[in-house]
Amino acid sequence: MFKSWLFFIFCSILALFLAALLVQGAVTSGPVVASLPDGKAKQQLVSRLRLTDLSLCSEARYTRHPSQADLFSAFQDYPGSFEHFPTGSIILPQLEGFNNQLRIVRQGEN
Amino acid sequence: MRRLLKILDFTLSSLLKRKYKNFALIAVYAFTIAVLGSVLFLTQALKYEATGSLETAPDIVVQRIFAGRHDLIPVNYAETIRRLPGVKSVSSRVWGYYYDSLIKANLTFLASGSDRQTLDLLEGRLPLADDECSIGMGIQSAFGPAIGDSLALEDSAGATKTFQVVGLFRAESNLLTNDLVIFQEQTLRAFFNIDSSLATDLIVEVYNPRETKTLAKKIKYHLADTRPITRDEILHTYETLFNWRSGMMLAVATGALIAFCILAWDKATGLSAEEKREIGILKALGWETADVLTVKLWEGLVISLTSLLIGLIGAWVHVFVFGAPALTPLLKGWSVLYPDFAYTALIDIYQVFVLAMLTVGPYIACTLIPAWKTAVTDPDLVMRG
């Protein structure tokens, strides 16, 4: 049974290594960032400069400020035009805050 | 237990007999898991970073929508909002974009608020005079100015203006400040030629966070051409941006899943002649169908467990040690300024568990089903092929 023990030892080493990596960062809630190094400083920065977005993808305005962009910003030329920015396949404009609805009024209705 | 270990021993010997095929299988399997795991770890790290840092974002941002697009908002809208019960303060914010045609980079220009206190992540200070600015690390890397140097920028009238760099955001804040240039409000207004009666948007602070949503509705009711965006909506944007259904996940996962399906399909469509003969001999020697299935179960477990562990460790190293070099071009797109930052190794165990279930489960099923079909057949027939 030498091979089985060898396999178990191999798997245990990998599993322990993985567990050590996961435990190092295995905390599953948002506020944790504040307890990390620079977490408080980042929150101070966001609060003082009144920032709303991450400076992650700076090629198009709706990927630079996904939470602030309007719907048509993804369609630079006209509504419904093809998206041409590569990060547009990753970051879509958000629908938050738009609640206008087109309504059909039939003849004779108010 | 002893019997199970002996069967495992037999399984390992059987796998080693076809070692090149099985090592290749483990390599492909581990690679697929590493690709999926990398996307998972990267998106999770970005999500934690965004939701954690942006917890102190403004309570409500009020934009004006004109002809379906974001437009400058009249500052006097602040008076209407200020009169609503529950509103603590309303201030205007001025910001905009600046495209540099030389290095083809988009910069974000932002006016600093009235707060003049120093920031922990800022080396130097915020601008105090009309000809001063503070810059992010991305701009420093792209153009090379140090504190004391000046930025020469072309304003909306085409005139060149110089601004002395008095502050440089530290690298730790890159994810938030990489492409930022901070000016005084009146300086930025003059630069973009924004009238003092207008602002880019309004920032509303409320006394009771539970009233934020109601206040946002009231703002929309009183000022119909506005779009109030609450902090919860900002956080929700980043929650949904990097979830299972995100474009990033889809872009990478589709290819990986198709590759894995081909692998699983190949396994499920049948055993090789050698494998069938082996099962036939075992049955002829007196092995029960259950024993044969145990061997195949062990086989599936050995391959999938090894691949899963190697794949997950590979993904962790790829994202948190090397900074996800294979995925960064996806996020970068055509951006010239991309923040250079270390991902925080925060992992959602639930997602790791889901990934394990989605890959290990189907693989074991694919190994067991054809083996069971062969094991229930007469050994003589199996050996004759």
pLDDT digits (tens, 9 = 90+) for B216-256: 999 999 999 999 999 999 998 888 877 765 666 666 677 77
Chain B positions touching A63 (Cβ under 8 A) are 333
Chain A positions touching B106 (Cβ under 8 A) are 58-59, 64
* Nearest chain A residue (CA) to B174: A55
* B172 at interface of A, judged by CB pairs closer than 8 A: yes
- Across chain A, mean pLDDT equals 77
Question: Is residue A50 a part of any domain in this protein?
Answer: no
Work out the minimum CA distance from A84 to partner chain B, whole angstroms.
Answer: 10
* B1 at interface of A, judged by CB pairs closer than 8 A: no
Which tokens in the block code for residue A104? 């059909």
The mean pLDDT of A76-102, rounded to a whole number, is 72
Q: What is the pLDDT of residues B32-81, one digit of tens each?
A: 889 888 888 888 888 888 888 899 999 999 999 988 888 999 999 999 99
CA dist., res. A61 & res. A65, Å (int): 6
DSSP, collapsed to helix, strand or coil, labels residue B116 as coil
Work out the minimum CA distance from A76 to partner chain B, whole angstroms.
Answer: 11
Which tokens in the block code for residue B46? 């970005």
Number of domains in chain A: 1
The mean pLDDT of B318-336, rounded to a whole number, is 85
Interface of B with A in 5-34 (CB under 8 A): 5-6, 8-9, 12-13
The pLDDT assigned to B186 comes to 92
Burial degree of B81 (CB within 10 A; 0-12, 13-18, 19+): buried
Which range, A32-41, B299-308, B352-361, has the best average confidence (pLDDT)?
A: B299-308
- Give Cβ neighbours of residue B77 (< 8 Å, ≥ 6 apart): B62, B64, B202, B223, B226
Chain B positions touching A33 (Cβ under 8 A) are 48-49, 51-53, 55, 344
Q: Which helix (H) or strand (E) segment is B183 a member of? A: strand B180-183
Which tokens in the block code for residue B253? 């996962």
pLDDT beyond 50 at B165: yes
Cβ-nearest to A72 among B12, B68, B169: B68
Beta bridge partners, B198, equal B74
The pLDDT assigned to A30 comes to 42
- Domain range for A64: 57-97
pLDDT beyond 90 at B206: yes
Partner-chain contact A58 B120, CB within 8 Å: no
* B281 at interface of A, judged by CB pairs closer than 8 A: no
The mean pLDDT of B119-130, rounded to a whole number, is 90
Question: Is residue A104 a part of any domain in this protein?
Answer: no
* Nearest chain A residue (CA) to B234: A67
* B154 at interface of A, judged by CB pairs closer than 8 A: no
pLDDT beyond 80 at B20: yes
Chain B positions touching A15 (Cβ under 8 A) are 309
Chain A positions touching B180 (Cβ under 8 A) are 49, 55
Chain A positions touching B212 (Cβ under 8 A) are none
DSSP, collapsed to helix, strand or coil, labels residue B287 as coil
B92-113 burial, b at 16+ Cβ within 10 Å, e below that, comes to: bbbbbebebeeeebbbbbbbbb
Lowest mean pLDDT among A100-104, B63-67, B76-80, B102-106: A100-104
CA dist., res. B324 & res. B317, Å (int): 9
Phi, psi for B21 (deg, rounded to 5): -65, -45
Partner-chain contact B58 A52, CB within 8 Å: yes
CA dist., res. A61 & res. B297, Å (int): 52
Q: Are A53 and B229 in contact (CB under 8 A)?
A: no
Which tokens in the block code for residue B64? 């004006």
Cβ-nearest to A46 among B5, B57, B347: B57
Partner-chain contact A45 B331, CB within 8 Å: no
Partner-chain contact A67 B229, CB within 8 Å: yes
Cβ-nearest to B227 among A37, A50, A97: A97
Partner-chain contact A14 B236, CB within 8 Å: no
* pLDDT > 70 fraction of chain B, expressed in percent and rounded: 94
Cβ-nearest to A46 among B56, B237, B333: B56
Cβ-nearest to B344 among A36, A47, A79: A36
The pLDDT assigned to B221 comes to 94
**CA B168 vs CA A29, A56, B115, B183, B279: distances in Å:** 31, 18, 17, 13, 70
The pLDDT assigned to B115 comes to 66
Which tokens in the block code for residue B289? 């169908």
Q: Which helix (H) or strand (E) segment is B205 a member of? A: strand B201-206
Question: Is residue A75 a part of any domain in this protein?
Answer: yes
Cβ-nearest to A85 among B48, B309, B334: B334
Chain A positions touching B185 (Cβ under 8 A) are none
pLDDT beyond 50 at A28: no
* Nearest chain A residue (CA) to B330: A87
Residue in the block written with tokens 């145990």: B294
Chain B positions touching A32 (Cβ under 8 A) are 48, 52, 346
The pLDDT assigned to A77 comes to 67
